[in-house]
Chains A and B, each alone.
Chain A
Amino acid sequence: GAGVSQSPSNKVTEKGKDVELRCDPISGHTALYWYRQSLGQGLEFLIYFQGNSAPDKSGLPSDRFSAERTGGSVSTLTIQRTQQEDSAVYLCASSLVLRAADTQYFGPGTRLTVL
């Protein structure tokens, strides 16, 4: 079956521009997660969704970052006024339910480069 998909696969933008990153989870998965992978910070957890709700936004690096999920499916991570330190690979994952042992399936990521 189809896995987690993300678009675009690569995004190059200029400092100060806004970007939107999209994640399509596996069909039927109620939980969705965003992570960031960068050379300096490794793999960092950003935010999770249970259905359309994101109860804890404390992992987002700054108030320039926001995320939403609609219809219990597609999620969008938005970065406003991008900075060079936002350059990273943004990974999305989904799991069947929101439970600590449930396997997270990862998408291929979006590589963001801020010039």
Chain B
Amino acid sequence: AQSVTQLGSHVSVSEGALVLLRCNYSSSVPPYLFWYVQYPNQGLQLLLKYTSAATLVKGINGFEAEFKKSETSFHLTKPSAHMSDAAEYFCAVSEPGGYNKLIFGAGTRLAVHP
């Protein structure tokens, strides 16, 4: 069965610093990969997704992620954090050829301090 591991349940960065949120998947077949963001009391919003095209994926709000098959990773980065980036971030996978069931990681809460 597929699973997703997000290393670090809480990450804290200074405003303007690099954001790095880690995601690893376990699957023998490279899955489709997604990053979602959840602001307080809101639903999930898609930041970006990997669907077997370019391995470096650019998303909204200046975020990007790189698919590395050899490391089974899909880490999310942003060069310079803004206060508005404070939220919870979820990595998710779905199985190619499947019915779009998303399997989520446990989430990483990002805090941005001045």
Contact string against A for B residues 29-54, beta-carbon threshold 8 Å, 1 for contact and 0 otherwise: 00010001000011111100101000
Q: Does A102 contact B (CB under 8 A)?
A: yes
Q: Decide if B43 touches A108 in the complex (CB within 8 Å).
A: yes
User: Known interface pairs A101-B51, A109-B43. Does A48 touch B104 (Cβ–Cβ under 8 Å)?
Assistant: no
Q: Decide if A101 touches B101 in the complex (CB within 8 Å).
A: no
Give 17 pairs: A residue, B residue, CB < 8 Å, sorted on A: A35-B102, A42-B105, A43-B90, A43-B102, A45-B103, A48-B99, A48-B101, A59-B101, A95-B100, A98-B100, A100-B95, A101-B96, A103-B46, A104-B102, A106-B36, A106-B43, A106-B45
Q: Decide if A43 touches B104 in the complex (CB within 8 Å).
A: yes
Q: Does A31 contact B (CB under 8 A)?
A: yes
**Contact partners of A33 in chain B: CB under 8 A:** 100-102
Q: Does B114 contact A (CB under 8 A)?
A: no
Q: Does B106 contact A (CB under 8 A)?
A: yes
Interface centre among B43, B44, B49 (most CB of A within 10 A): B43
Q: Decide if B32 touches A101 in the complex (CB within 8 Å).
A: yes
Q: Does A63 contact B (CB under 8 A)?
A: no
Interface size counted on chain A using CB atoms at 8 A = 27
User: How long is the Cα–Cα vector from A103 to B25 in the complex, in angstroms?
Assistant: 19
User: How long is the Cα–Cα vector from A4 to B46 in the complex, in angstroms?
Assistant: 14
**Contact partners of B103 in chain A: CB under 8 A:** 45
User: How long is the Cα–Cα vector from A108 to B104 in the complex, in angstroms?
Assistant: 17
Q: Decide if A45 touches B43 in the complex (CB within 8 Å).
A: no
Q: Decide if B100 touches A108 in the complex (CB within 8 Å).
A: no
User: Known interface pairs A45-B102, A100-B32. Does A108 touch B46 (Cβ–Cβ under 8 Å)?
Assistant: no
Q: Decide if B106 touches A91 in the complex (CB within 8 Å).
A: no
A50-B99, A100-B99 given. 20 additional CB < 8 A pairs?
A4-B43, A33-B102, A43-B92, A45-B102, A55-B99, A56-B99, A59-B101, A93-B43, A98-B99, A100-B94, A100-B100, A101-B32, A101-B49, A101-B51, A102-B100, A104-B46, A104-B100, A104-B102, A106-B36, A108-B42
